[in-house]
Amino acid sequence: MPYAANNEIAFDKFEGSIKITKEQYLQALEGMQEGLVVSIDGGFKVSPPAQAPTPIPTPEELAQQVLAYRDRLLTNATIRISPLQFAVDLGDESHEDMEKLSAWKQYCVALNRIQVQAGFPQSINWPVEPA
């Protein structure tokens, strides 16, 4: 007769094990091969392993994550600014180009100042990306 305990199965009784059916043994064996765990707490179960709670980042780690996100937004903004600035540099800008360029530059300045906001890094008032 097969036996099971928390994440263990065997045909011989072992400490802390309970008796299970052959069908349950096969279910446990198949489940363990797929990364599932065997549990006998509250009855025989084969289920996914318990997820460890996601650790809450320290204020320093959170600031680092926020600034990394900010830098990705600044990189995207720079990609948008470059062709507009090229048009200005070449004297080929339109009124619309100048308005867009100004809006993107203001956006970059606002992004660059997020760490001086009162709630930083837990609460950020992110600037809206220009249309």
pLDDT digits (tens, 9 = 90+) for 40-63: 887 889 998 888 888 999 999 999
pLDDT for position 51? 84
DSSP string for residues in 31-57? HHHTT-EEE-TTS-EEEPPPPPPPPPP
One-letter amino acid identity for 39? S
Residues 2-30 pLDDT 10s: 989 888 889 889 988 889 989 999 998 88
DSSP 3-state of 5:
strand
pLDDT for position 89? 97
One-letter amino acid identity for 36? L
Residue 106 corresponds to which tokens in the numbers above?
């203001």
Q: Is 23 within 8 Å of 30 (Cβ atoms)?
A: no
pTM, full prediction: 0.62
Output 17-25 pairs: Cβ under 8 A, ≥24 positions apart.
Answer: 18/44, 20/44
